[in-house]
Structure 1
Amino acid sequence: MPINANAVLSRLQDQSIRDQSFLKSSLRESRHQFEHHPYALYAVDVKFQPSLRPTGRFAKQKHYYSGKHGMYGYKIEATVSPNGRCVAMSESHPGSVHDFTIMHSRQEVHKAMLMKNQQDMLLPDHGELSAQYREQWACLVDMGYIGIANTLRGIHPKRCLVNGVLDASDVERNRLISSDRVIVENYFGRVCALWKASYATFTWSEKNYCAIQRTTFALSNFHLSLIPLRLEDETFYGMVLARYERMANEKKRKRAETQRRYRLNRQERAALDHIVFIFVKLCNT
């Protein structure tokens, strides 16, 4: 009997990524809460992966170029629970789409996931934005999501103003948020450590990207049920990001070298043309 790969993938996702039944109950178990933000249901971040330069017109190509990473690629938003499991994923987006835009386009999904049930409403919740969003749990995001609190109960670090400084309480608050939110980077590190297809330059068709990433995330969830997240996962993800930075810098260096050689050759041709012009002029006289 032939194996239906799509059916297997769908079943795998149902059991690992789409199964959010433990999200609500995790808030009632201390071991499945964020240490400094027990009222937060999950943390959100976007994973970037470089790809080959798309074919076609430049207007289409630049849509996939990430100015932050200096490369063409794709982005996927991942939602990670306090126990280190990916419980939701977005579709793939071109590299130029901002992280905030991706989350804003999925605000209805996040509202449904963060909504409290009747039992949750009985639990004490005196955390940030609890007065504004009485019927929602919070989610942890990074500084790139400033403004998300207008539509969701998103907790993000405070940005320092230009020529300003943060006071001690704001610095401590930012540290605590980053301390809890780092679980997303740990998860990305585990995915990248297990699957090279999740961090190497993606060379296949774009239509296959989302299915491949969902498969690696689902299998990583199963792996996490056997071996929990560790500090080494964050370290590995940092190495992946450093690799992306080196790749971008190398591309910039090669481009600058190409432009330098072009300018030098142009100057040499101009000088040669000038010499020929003078020689011809002297011969004619």
Structure 2
Amino acid sequence: MKDVGIVLDCTVIPICRPGGKLKEGKKFYSGKHHYYCVKVEVGVNPRMGTASTISEVYTGSTHDYSVFKEHYPKFQDKMEGSKILADSAYVGARPELGAVISKPVGTKEISSKRVIVERFFGRLKTLFSVFRHPWPFDVEKIGEYFFVACCLTNYHILQNPLTKKDEEANQRFLDSLVYDYLQKKEAKRIANERYNTKIKNKLNPGNMPAPRISSLGTQREGQTQNLVSIDHAISRREEEREQLESLREEERVCLLEREREREIPDTQSTDHSLDWFLPGQWKSTNIFLLSSSAPFPVFPTSSSSSSSASASSSSATHNTQILSPLQLLLNQRND
């Protein structure tokens, strides 16, 4: 295996599911890895472990041998009669290029030489985790970023040679793709089963599985608790209604009492200042007797007063005689 000049292999970079038409999106789906991805071929120097040649970016559905046929003319002049070491995906390159193919049941020497390219990919994706996860940027710029990452990885490998840990890192990356695919497949299968059972139960209600006794017991207990809480709420509402009705009745009684008090007049506080003007107060003597609240002078009773004056004074409640201004004038004239 001393005449091997380059070790070839393709690596995948996962991407998000592309939008647009379904036919265009299928080009990026890899049936081997069960993921939407792009593919890049890298040729690694078997002695140093650094990348010697890097291809362009291809869709995930492109076969490795198809990538090789387009990429090989770019580095064919630098081979100088040396052989190419690749895996079983490059079987078509054996007769025309003299490539050494590492099959799954190949010798340990061939497989140990080919492992170096797997270690390179592991070191690359360990240093730049953006190539392990779905690509968050524009897909058209993956080639530029990948070329720069390979150059920096070459410098890192010269300082720190490749080890078995790098190979394990690349294997973990490939296993993660398979794990994600299986997890999505299982979730899809469970969703389909639930949907099918739901449709069957709708079409044939008698085929529904009977619930367990324990579940029935818990269900009945929950129903009884709900009924008790409902009865309690109803009784509480009835009590609140009764309290409101009693308060409203008390307010009605108070309003009726206030209206009655307003209708009954206050006889004690009646104003008698104009009682002397009423016609019923005129007597036969043509003298107008004022009430006790009239603003006229009050004179004591004398023996020289006339019989008509004594008769009118006897009707007064108090022992005083209240005279009108006309009688005052008459008395002054008689004097």
Same fold? TM cut 0.5: yes
Tell whether 2:97 aligns with 1:152.
yes
Native 8 Å contact 1:49 1:201 kept in 2: yes
Q: Which runs of 4+ in 1 moved over 4 A?
A: none
Q: Tell me the equivalent position of 1:207.
A: 140
- 1:205 & 1:268 partners in 2: Cα distance? 47
The 3 A distance-change label for structure 1 pair 266 and 113 is farther
Deviation at 1:158, TM superposition (A): 4.5
Whether the 8 Å contact between 2:53 and 2:75 is mirrored in structure 1 is: no
Q: Which residue of 2 aligns with 1:127?
A: none
Distance in 2 separating the partners of 1:66 and 1:84: 27
Q: CA RMSD in A?
A: 1.6
1:111-132 Cα offsets, whole Å, 9 max, x none, are 2231x2xxxxxxxxxxxxxxxx
1:141 aligns with 2:86: yes
Distance in 1 (alpha carbons) for counterparts of 2:36 and 2:197? 29
For residues 85-110 of structure 1, give each alpha carbon's deviation from its aligned partner in whole angstroms, at most 9, with x where no partner exists.
00111111111111111111223124
Structure-2 change in CA distance of 1:151 and 1:108 (3 Å): farther
How far apart, CA to CA, are the structure 1 residues paired with 2:95 and 2:166?
Answer: 33
Indicate the residue corresponding to 1:73 in structure 2.
37
Residue identity matched to 1:113: K
Q: TM-score, normalised by structure 1?
A: 0.68
Deviation at 1:76, TM superposition (A): 0.5
Higher relative contact order (CA 8 A, sep 6+): 1
Describe the shift of the 1:158–1:228 C-alpha distance in structure 2 as closer, same or farther (beyond 3 A).
closer
| 1:54 CA displacement | 0.7
Pair 1:92 & 2:60 matched: no
Q: Aligned pair 1:105/2:38, yes or no?
A: no
Deviation at residue 254 of structure 1 after TM alignment: 1.8
For 1:38, what is the secondary structure of its paired residue?
coil
| 2:224 paired with 1:259 | no
The question of whether the paired residues in 1 share the 8 Å contact of 2:10 and 2:40 is answered with: yes
Q: Give 1 or 2 for the bigger CA radius of gyration.
A: 2
Q: Which moved more, 1:39-48 or 1:254-263?
A: 254-263
1:138-173 C-alpha deviation (Å, 9 max, x unpaired): 0100011112123322110346xxxxxxxxxxx5x5
- Asked if 1:39 is matched to 2:3, the reply is yes
Are residues 1:176 and 2:121 paired?
Answer: no
AA partner of residue 132 (structure 2): Y
> Gapped runs of 5+ residues in structure 2?
206-335
Q: Select which of 18, 22, 30 maps to 1:54.
A: 18
- Gapped regions of structure 1 (runs ≥ 5): 1-36, 117-135, 160-170, 273-285
Match of 1:6 in 2: none
